[in-house]
């Protein structure tokens, strides 16, 4: 590759040749999957996942990918339920604390100083301090494979949203105010996050 080429090109299987893998930064910023779950033995778990998004309208389906078969995946497969909790700027530090590598017996709600609030439809609690939460029932767990069919150590968890909690202050004339929710978004650097604000909003309607 010529030094005069305006593009840095690489094939991931051969390495990226950079100080930090740019993949996460290129597909960013991303919403955070702050997932609450409960083991079959009743132990609560709360963990953030940076590979997270919404995938369907009707029924509403969200999903997150876990690199490694972690407690969240095991719990959700055992009970068939999980919660999603909006990670906000004011909850950034507790969210970060909840990603500590601890034993399965450790309750991350307690570790991060957060309050488990009862859900309406499922038995898994939500984070009381967050303004938005989803209650979800498991629809699929898929082990991801490469293009050659080889299995990865990554598990995609998809769930149907069966309950939604929104603080009324975030509903303006019946429309959810995304910026007022103060979500934090995962970027690609080792410690990079973004916030959004009303000043960055622009509107564009679809062609008819």
As a whole number, mean pLDDT of residues 137-144 equals 98
The answer to whether 91 touches 73, Cβ cutoff 8 Å, is no
Q: Which two tokens stand for residue 75?
A: 């719990």
Cα–Cα distance between 143 and 34 in angstroms, integer?
20
- Tens of pLDDT, residues 97-140: 999 999 999 999 999 999 999 999 999 999 999 999 999 999 99
As a whole number, mean pLDDT of residues 33-39 equals 98
Residue 24 has pLDDT above 90, yes or no: no
Q: Give alpha helix (H) positions in the chain.
A: 23-26, 71-79, 92-97, 108-111
Global pTM?
0.94
Question: Which of 14-23, 25-34, 113-122 reaches the highest mean pLDDT?
Answer: 113-122
Q: Which of these, 43, 64, 44, lies nearest to 52 by C-alpha position? A: 64
Phi, psi of 85 (to 5 degrees): -130, 130
Domains annotated on the chain, with CATH: 29-197 (2.30.110.10)
> How many C-beta neighbours within 10 Å does residue 49 have?
21
Mean pLDDT of the chain: 95
Residue 3 has pLDDT above 80, yes or no: no
Residue 1 has pLDDT above 60, yes or no: no
| CA angle at 171 for the pair 47 and 33, rounded to the nearest 5° | 15
Cα–Cα distance between 193 and 208 in angstroms, integer?
36
User: Is-cis flag, bond preceding 29, omega within 30?
Assistant: yes
Residue 146 has pLDDT above 80, yes or no: yes
Model pLDDT, residue 92: 97
Q: Which of these, 54, 24, 31, 46, lies nearest to 194 by C-alpha position? A: 31
User: What's 77's DSSP letter?
Assistant: H
């Amino acid at each position: 590759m010529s030094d005069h080429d305006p593009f840095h090109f690489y094939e991931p299987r051969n390495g990226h040749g950079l100080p930090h893998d740019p993949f996460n930064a290129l597909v960013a910023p991303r919403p955070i999957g702050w997932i609450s779950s409960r083991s079959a033995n009743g132990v609560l778990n709360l963990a953030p996942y940076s590979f997270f998004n919404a995938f369907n309208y009707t029924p509403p389906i969200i999903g997150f990918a876990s690199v490694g078969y972690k407690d969240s995946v095991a719990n959700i497969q055992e009970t068939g339920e999980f919660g999603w909790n909006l990670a906000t700027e004011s909850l950034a530090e507790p969210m970060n604390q909840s990603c500590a590598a601890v034993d399965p017996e450790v309750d991350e709600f307690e570790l991060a100083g957060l309050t488990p609030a009862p859900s309406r439809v499922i038995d898994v609690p939500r984070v009381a301090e967050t303004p938005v939460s989803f209650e979800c029932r498991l629809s699929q767990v898929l082990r991801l494979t490469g293009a050659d069919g080889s299995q990865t150590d990554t598990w995609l968890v998809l769930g149907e949203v069966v309950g939604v909690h929104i603080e009324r202050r975030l509903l303006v004339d019946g429309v959810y105010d995304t910026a007022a929710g103060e979500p934090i978004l995962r970027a690609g650097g080792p410690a990079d996050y973004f916030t959004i604000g009303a000043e960055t909003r622009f509107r564009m309607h679809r062609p008819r």
